[in-house]
Chain A
Amino acid sequence: MKEFVEGSHAIAEIIKACQPGVISAYPITPQTHIVEDLAQMVSNGELKAQVVNVESEHSAASVVLGGSATGVRVYTATSSQGLFYMQEVVFNIAGMRLPVVMTCANRAISAPINIWNDQQDSISLRDAGWIQIYAEDNQEAVDFHLIAYRLAEDKRVMLPVMVCMDGFILTHGMETVDVPEQEKVDKFLPKYNPLYKLDTAAPISMGLLADPDYYMEARFAIQETMKESLGYLSEVSSEFKSVFGRDYKDLLVEEYQTKDAEKVIVAMGSVCGTIKEVIDEQRAKGKKIGLLRIISFRPFPYARVYEALKDVSRIAVLDKSVSLGAYAPIAVEIKAAFYGKKKGPKVISSFVGGLGGRDITLESVYEVLRRLTAKEVNSDFIDLKPELLKEEYDGK
């Protein structure tokens, strides 16, 4: 049913339809509206779930870990410092192969403290063993949560999934969203039937100590599942299309005007809406510009990126996070996709923008295109304010 709603409310609606048995979260802006709405739904009797209001994100993640280990579908949501505070548990959940679904309302990282959007939080947890998918708009954010449960609980996967949506821009943005009907959700998402669970009728031990004789194989198994999940994402996407009609293709990348493009911008998340507008303007003037939007950052679709961009001359990668002291996170992956390959762009330049909620405007995107010259640049910050960079340490 189509509704004009806030992003967070739409997420609460789809989570309700997925019917988790245990929900646990700790308040952090801009995640709060999602869990507030869910708490109200439970209070109203619309959703039969146990809501555990914990004393920290570390415990929120631990509660859903425990719930999932008991064989129940679970949900949590967080952002920024909250995600960092639960980091230890985030890695643990993946290592224990528990199909937890979490929303990350993407937000900048302190210091300086800043509640506004960038993608530094989830990007920094890229090695945790969670599948990470990034939404461009609220329709996607809704659909991706449903897909996330289906994927996480797939016996071939059994890994947690993080649905990343830009804080405020999406969580607090009002859009018309088609929230899937319960009947169709039930058709697409079967009841969770765990492989293993804590059950007094059949006792097992979970979370054992693995010494050097056993540890590596457990990590290798996750790596293999991650690689295989590239295909499972596409498979689930096609089943999603057959039930709901919306087509996310392979769910790995979106190609927007890339076929004959000479220059392509690579980006992730809501900024892609702005970039598409610039591309439309440029295409109207006959300029061959395109966008490759990364949807799945983990697993990273190297082969798809190669196929999509191998004939493009120049690429600009726009990261909304930074790996301080190194190449920017998405840029690293794009460059890696072409290493040692026969074909590939002459230039892969990397730009960093939108940190701490600084707007990436149409003009910002034009600036990226202007700086995309024959000379490659790396982690080139856009939209800096020169007047704020004047203060210098005088060496005393």
Chain B
Amino acid sequence: MMENSPVFKSGHTACAGCGQAIAARLVIEAAGPNTIVANNTGCLEVFTTKYPETAWGVPWIHSLFENSAAVASGIEAALIYLGKKDVTNMICQGGDGSSGDIGLQALSGMLERGHDILYVCYDNEAYMNTGVQRSGLTPFDTNTTTSPAGACSSGNVRPKKAMPEICNAHGIPYVATASAGFPQDLTRKVKKAISIKGPKYIQVHVPCPLGWRHETNQMLTVARLAVETGLYPLFEYENGILANRKQIVPKPVVEYLKSQGRFKHLLNNPEEIKKIQEIADHNIQKYNLKVEA
């Protein structure tokens, strides 16, 4: 059990077992009270700040769905003008849809301009706040409400958008992936990112029991399986170089797929499972994930 946090208070309205709620708390606790947060529209915004209540113990602002990177840029510019930037951390955050789809332009602008801001993308792999619609970060073959599996489809036809690589291509000093299933790793990465000047991007894999269709008490297990199969590799880029990765003894992807209802339609389809195994194998090779014997 975690004690009530002064920067992220209990009593918010997140669903039971929400990976994003836990990750968001870990992020802000790692950053500390001298932090300002700009938040895109999405689950996190809705469940933490329903007027007249707020879960946030740090200065926090929400403007629109896709513009937190630009709002944060303005806050950072104002802090520089006021001479307060050196003593204030700036975090902006959103879900996978608001970061990688509708907000990609604002995020790209923020990264390119070199603002001293940490961007945190909570990746639950679909538009959960509106009812589990497919996003650009929805994995291949996922059953969502707008990429439903059916007689003629195995679900989402496209692979997951490579957002960490896209961010890394901006030439920024720090890019990392993390997972709600590995809290200490997430905390370490946030602290590291905060210590680096310039734009930083951390993408945190956060299970959504409602959208992924798993039991609420299975959140950590599901999150860990994504990493342990190679489907969600944890790595760090520093100044464009792959500096660190979490090594695994790879488990077969079917272990992960069978843990969630969103992949249930694949379980009797070895051909599709093979394609997903290939995605994991590719990750394992690309990021050199396998524990050396």
Contact = CB atoms under 8 A, between A and B. Distances in A.
A303 interface: no
Interface of B: 33-36, 38, 45-46, 49-52, 54, 56-64, 66-67, 69-82, 87-88, 105-106, 108-109, 112-113
A50 B67 contact: no
Interface centre among B74, B80, B81, B105 (most CB of A within 10 A): B74
Contact of B109 (A55, A69, A89): A55
Interface centre among B34, B54, B81, B88 (most CB of A within 10 A): B81
A53 B113 contact: yes
Contacts of A22: 74, 77-78, 81
30 contacts: A22-B74, A50-B77, A55-B106, A55-B109, A55-B112, A58-B66, A58-B106, A62-B64, A62-B73, A63-B74, A65-B67, A66-B71, A66-B73, A69-B61, A69-B71, A70-B75, A70-B82, A71-B78, A72-B78, A92-B63, A198-B61, A200-B33, A200-B34, A200-B59, A200-B88, A204-B59, A205-B56, A208-B50, A208-B54, A211-B51
Given A21-B82, A66-B74, A203 B108 contact: no
Interface residues of A, number: 43
Interface in A17-57: 21-22, 24, 48-50, 52-56
Interface in A44-99: 48-50, 52-56, 58-60, 62-72, 74, 88-89, 92, 96
Contacts of B56: 203, 205
A203 B54 CA distance: 11
Nearest to B88: A200
Contacts of B108: 55
Given A200-B35, A209-B50, A89 B64 contact: yes
Contacts of B45: 209
A208 B75 contact: no
B11 to A, nearest CB: 14
B109 A56 contact: yes
A284 interface: no
A200 B67 CA distance: 22
Contacts of B67: 58-59, 62, 65, 89
Contact of B57 (A70, A203, A214): A203
A199 interface: yes
B49 A70 contact: no
A326 interface: no
A206 interface: yes
